[in-house]
Amino acid sequence: MTTPERAAGASRGPRLPADDPALFELDLAGLAQRWAEAMDRAPITAAEMTGMDAKAQRLGVSGARLMEHAGTAVAAAARALMRAAAVADAGQPEPAERLADGLVLVLCGPGNNGGDGLVAARRLAAHGIRVAAVLVSPGSRPGTPDAARNWDRLGAAPMVERIHAPAARDIATLGQGIERAALLIDALLGTGVRGGLREPVRTAVELCLRARAAGVPVLAVDTPTACDLTSGELSDPVVRADVTVTFHRPKTGLLTRRGRLVAGRVLVAPIGIPAQADRA
């Protein structure tokens, strides 16, 4: 890279996740520092984020590119959380079997939140981590175009097993031996839930709770499933995460007492929303 190119890159600020090759070398504190600008922004509601996302796409930023940055950020945080868990478990008399097994379970809903999880699965696999990407939906394919494309891309990805779980009994079968997983990623639902959770998502949330109770770290994408991004209202059951990766700006719901209770450590990753699409 020439000096003018370096200067131009510096003027654009920190690299976005999919363009940042050093991201997977950072721990959780390092990621927070890397994304400090996004983490320091004023919080927004879920509806405001939806509007910014839509405006960014009208300005020419593709939904696929936004998803690629989001999923890469999730994968980097997942890798950092796995390292942190390994350090914690190393102090135990008998390190957990899950550290040797190394399987990451990604529970994906049919929408774009699930699509972020599918990108994360591909990115983790590219770093030599075994992944099971589970589509938790009655439909055999994700319901949005960008998520469906990322589901298809995993078909040829080494180190990734795609699993379709259309019913609660499929999730229950999947949960056998969950204590041996290295990490669980909750990419089920990215917004609040009105009323009770429907199957098979309800059983998937219960699996997240069982995994965490067994000592498996849990990372949530955008928000823990069944925690409203705007109000922080919780449905029952609700995922309890060790780390939550949300995007572009902090979300009001994750800053409430109830939101903080289930979100764990919150990281805010930039995903390429241009300034013209931001409310500020």
Average pLDDT per consecutive 10 residues, the chain (280 residues; last block may be shorter): 36 79 96 97 96 96 98 98 84 46 92 98 96 97 97 94 97 93 96 80 97 97 96 95 98 97 98 89
**DSSP-derived pairing of the beta strands 183-187 and 131-136:** unpaired
Bridge partner residues of 267 (DSSP): 245
Q: Could you tell me the strand order of the sheet in which 131-136 lies?
A: 160-165, 131-136, 104-108, 183-187, 218-221, 243-247, 265-269
Q: What's the burial of 156, exposed, middle or buried (CB within 10 Å: 0-12/13-18/19+)?
A: exposed
Q: pTM score, two decimals?
A: 0.92
Residues 6+ apart with CB under 8 A from 280: 41, 42
Nearest-10 crossing angle of helices 46-58, 63-90: 130
Q: Which fold has domain 31-51+62-90+98-277?
A: Rossmann fold (3.40.50)
Question: Which runs of E-coded beta strand occur in the chain?
Answer: 104-108, 131-136, 160-165, 183-187, 218-221, 243-247, 265-269
Quote the pLDDT of residue 191: 76
d(CA 251, CA 153): 30
Give me the long-range contacts of 169-177 (CB less than 8 A, separation at least 24): 170/200, 171/136, 171/200, 171/203, 171/204, 171/207, 172/203, 174/105, 174/132, 174/134, 174/207, 175/207, 175/210, 175/211
Tell me how far apart the terminal alpha carbons of the chain are, to the nearest angstrom: 33
Q: What is the DSSP string of 174-222?
A: HTTTGGG-SEEEEES-SS--SSSPPTTHHHHHHHHHHHHHTT--EEEES
**Number of separate helices (H) and strands (E) present in the chain:** 11, 7
Q: Phi and psi dihedrals of 169, rounded to 5?
A: -65, -30
d(CA 112, CA 151): 11
d(CA 89, CA 94): 8
Quote the pLDDT of residue 10: 37
Nearest-10 crossing angle of helices 63-90, 145-153: 50
Instruction: Provide the 3-class DSSP secondary structure of residue 108.
Output: strand
199 CB-side CA count, 13 A: 8
Bridge partner residues of 265 (DSSP): 243
